[in-house]
């Protein structure tokens, strides 16, 4: 009987459309949610990648090990509004489960003066309450947040350029064994009237399929679903 063949490295691109959003309104497939900050709204869009063709094999256990993730954007960001409305926070996350609106997305951003509950991190208030942690570190494969505002020293026509003033990568990069992963792009404005033009984006992933023992596969499955 021939041995099972493990597929070689693969590359795929997940895609999300751009949109214009503000005042609690956005075009489909973008959705609007409340946030825990005093003012402003959250806007999010999600894409799912089916991994079953790579991870499912009746003869052997295997997983997907990501070697590189590249976030590509089709153009610049634009943030408009009044003097106190021209700032946003953007989160891009690749997770083993679909982030829910109330449990994960609403508490991420609490405003610039208070820390939010970013998935995969401890509660910033110092309390040890597992219910406050929306996702465990193993469920966050890759993430990238950016704090963005306008540079009043650079004017393009009648507008001021939007730039990133702070950012950080996060995520554990664990081996994927589940049937799917989710890319979520979440944007939070500092005021209801904050207007945002977000470009379309691609998340380009390069990964290899790796053999696993059954105990390794079961362990990764439990970590991926928070068990």
Please report, in tens digits, the pLDDT of each residue of the chain (227 residues total).
445 556 668 888 999 999 999 999 999 999 999 999 888 999 999 999 998 877 777 677 788 889 999 999 999 999 999 888 999 999 999 999 999 998 899 999 999 888 889 999 988 876 655 555 678 899 999 999 999 999 887 777 667 789 999 999 999 998 988 889 999 999 999 999 999 999 999 999 999 888 887 777 777 777 777 65
- Do residues 209 and 64 lie in contact, with contact meaning Cβ atoms separated by under 8 Å? yes
Tokens 């590509």 found at: 72
Number of domains in the chain: 1
pTM: 0.88
Please check whether residue 5 lies inside any domain of the structure. Answer: no
- Record the tokens describing residue 26, joined without a space: 């956005």
- Record the tokens describing residue 8, joined without a space: 């070689």
Please check whether residue 4 lies inside any domain of the structure. Answer: no
- The residues, any chain, with a CB within 8 Å of residue 135's CB and separated by 6 or more, are 95, 97, 99, 104, 119, 120, 226
| Residue 195 burial (C-beta neighbours within 10 Å; 0-12, 13-18, 19+) | middle
- Record the tokens describing residue 91, joined without a space: 């989160």
Shortest CA distance to 173 belongs to which of 60, 96, 115? 96
Please check whether residue 2 lies inside any domain of the structure. Answer: no
Domain boundaries, position 206? 11-224
Please check whether residue 186 lies inside any domain of the structure. Answer: yes
Give residue 139's region: left, alpha or beta (phi > 0; psi -120 to 50): alpha
- Do residues 13 and 203 lie in contact, with contact meaning Cβ atoms separated by under 8 Å? yes
Please check whether residue 1 lies inside any domain of the structure. Answer: no
Please check whether residue 63 lies inside any domain of the structure. Answer: yes
What is the pLDDT, as a whole number, of residue 2? Answer: 46
Q: Write down how long the chain is.
A: 227
Please check whether residue 3 lies inside any domain of the structure. Answer: no
What is the pLDDT, as a whole number, of residue 225? Answer: 75
Q: Which of helix, strand or coil describes residue 104? A: helix
Computed from CA positions of residues 32, 137, 13, 70, in that sequence, does the dihedral angle turn out positive or negative? positive
What is the pLDDT, as a whole number, of residue 62? Answer: 84
User: What are the counts of helices (DSSP H) followed by strands (DSSP E) for the chain?
Assistant: 2, 12
Please check whether residue 22 lies inside any domain of the structure. Answer: yes
| Greatest CA separation for the chain | 71
Tokens 């991420």 found at: 108
């Amino acid at each position: 009987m021939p041995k099972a063949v493990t597929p070689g490295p693969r590359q795929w691109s997940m895609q999300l459309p751009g949109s214009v959003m503000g005042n609690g309104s956005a075009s489909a497939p973008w959705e609007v949610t409340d946030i825990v900050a005093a003012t402003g709204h959250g806007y999010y869009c999600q894409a799912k990648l089916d991994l079953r063709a790579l991870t499912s094999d009746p003869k052997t256990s295997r997983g997907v090990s990501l070697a590189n993730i590249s976030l590509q954007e089709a153009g610049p960001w634009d943030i408009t509004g009044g003097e106190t409305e021209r700032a946003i926070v953007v989160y891009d996350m690749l997770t083993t489960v679909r982030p829910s609106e109330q449990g994960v997305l609403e508490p991420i951003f609490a405003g610039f003066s208070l820390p939010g509950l970013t998935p995969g991190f401890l509660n910033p208030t110092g309390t040890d309450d597992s219910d406050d942690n929306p996702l465990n570190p193993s469920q966050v494969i890759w993430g990238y947040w950016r704090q963005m505002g306008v540079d009043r020293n650079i004017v393009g026509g009648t507008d001021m350029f939007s730039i990133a003033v702070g950012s950080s990568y996060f995520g554990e990069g664990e081996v994927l064994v589940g049937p799917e992963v989710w890319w979520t792009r979440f944007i939070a404005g500092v005021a209801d009237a904050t207007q945002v033009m977000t470009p379309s984006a691609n998340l380009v992933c390069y990964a290899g399929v790796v053999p696993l023992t059954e105990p390794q596969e079961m362990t990764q499955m439990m970590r991926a679903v928070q068990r």
